[in-house]
Structure 1
Amino acid sequence: MWFIIDDQMADDRRIRRLPLATVGLWVKLCVIHSKGVSMQSKDPSAYPGHFDQLDLKDAGGTMRQLQQLIDAGLMEEHDGGWRPVYAEGICREPRVLTEEQREARRKAGSKGGRRKAANQKAKQTSGDLPENSQANEEQNSSETGSKPSSKLLEDSQAKTWHKTDTDTDIPSPTPPAGTAKQTASEAPDAFAAIAETYPGTIGAKGRKAEREARDLVETITENPVQLARLQSAVRRYRRAVNDGHVPQRQVPRLATWLRDQWETWAPEPITPTRQHKHTWNCEHVHQLMDPHEDEYDHSGSLREGNPSKWYLACQACADELNQETSKEKQ
């Protein structure tokens, strides 16, 4: 069973007024409840129909966040615990499948798998037809070649030798020793790796869909960081399709996925952390100076150019901390 979030959820004012951490907690609690209801359909004693305070703690939430959800109308009290409220425009009530429906889905999936295997076998058979026909023609020509004159026989033999012996007798050039440079044919092809991993169709080679996908991959992978994110996104998407989280019928062509979806499956880019610069009023300076605050005179005005002794002492402490930080870097 699935917990279904409406695609207009982010625009709802009830969601926009909540802190992001509270919205994340709401999703986790709804998933816990949906999973419990699914278990309850098989075993009524597996889930009481609501989550309790222990479930809230396991999800990493607090009572203050839960109260925010209750005030927003997204949670309600039920039988000593709480359960989600399925609101219009935010989420939909999950549908529990009966055993008959599950069996029908299993049969449909098995039938579809057999049909797909039959289609692949038919394609392989049709692909072998040209080779078979060529072999038959060569056999027919060899059988009828004994009846014409000897000159025709010699000509046909010469053509046959040209196709076989000549190709095998030509020695292949050996690359010069000591060439460490990688040739273009040996260079790793990012598009080929992406296309091989992608769980959907690519398009015929050289056609519009395949060319568009290749151009998009080249554009994305100009940045090595984006290349790593794209590879991770393709692996995640393939795993989601294989696990059934994304139906196979909803998998678009590679060009469409690269244009519209790949960044939603990619991990967040890692941004470098900004080095903290200590100031006279930062928390690190306060930790060191607050115990000695009474020892300094606070009279004076920085705006008038006459800073207090307390300010000067705190600023000196900040400068010293910054110097220690720079020495550690070196």
Structure 2
Amino acid sequence: MAAWKLGPALACGNTIVMKAAEQTPLSILVFANLIKEAGFPPGVVNILNGHGKIAGAAIAQHLGIDKVAFTGSTATGKEIMKSASVNMKNITLETGGKSPLLVFDDADMDQAIKWSHAGIMSNMGQICTATSRILVQEGIYDKFVEAFKKQVAEVSKVGDPFSDETFQGPQVTKAQYEKVLNYIEAGKSDGATLAMGGEAYKNVGEGKGFFVSPTVFTNVKSNMRVFREEVFGPFVVIVSFKDEEDALQKANDTTYGLGSAIFTKDIVRAHKLARRIEAGMVWINSSQDSDFRIPFGGVKQSGIGRELGEAGLDAYTNKKAVHVNLGTWL
């Protein structure tokens, strides 16, 4: 996230004040030493740490800062918008998501299973673009659920994050761990079926660490919290759909619009749906793969603006029109 902002901002000649998330401050401090070692002049890149409500708010409200770029929750993004209005700062916001992954009955089932698993369970589900709503066509729904559960059981090894054998480590904080567990209870109380997981995982680190078992809910309705709200954990809902229109309606039934994925062998269908899905990014027969040359960002309450690619450079520049009169008159 730091590189996505530092690269284009520096390339366009800006100086930078960067605040790391309070949950993950150490890596950017190590990087700050490398910036100094690389020979950047003092004051070009400035790194500070602190809590968002204090240090982050000070940046957003500061009259000497012309641009703010933020990656984080939708709720925090809204607060930054309010604060940045003090001098009408240019803003780039990359916020929350509840990305749909559509699986049609003609899809390559093995590939759909592997990609959909990686799309939600990677990085403990702590990815803004995570495809956390899997929508599967009715005819293959039961088969998909069983195959998905088998994939999770075989691949999602929970354990020491420094071990090569581990697929899933702990959640980043106790607060996030408790949030995921609360959503598990919400899913059960709302009437969804807990198909797998749904509990704190204590079989690692002598009970220490904020581990959650990979969790799968089925029989989920669109009005349930687990369908509508971002969990940000190893937590997925699998919902059935009838046809293209039903799939599209369910995919777009969200306040978010960051990522999305479509699995089908019919490339014409895939492109037709890609145009109609309300999301900043669409993957066809994959999930989460990206390239620094391709714009990244969302629509609706998933953000404003784009990072990466040429669009990422635009965010750190202003266009100026210069009119020159050479001495004539109309």
Query: TM-score when scaled to structure 1?
Result: 0.21
| Larger-Rg structure | 1
Query: TM-score when scaled to structure 2?
Result: 0.21
Higher relative contact order (CA 8 A, sep 6+): 2
Bigger helix share: 1
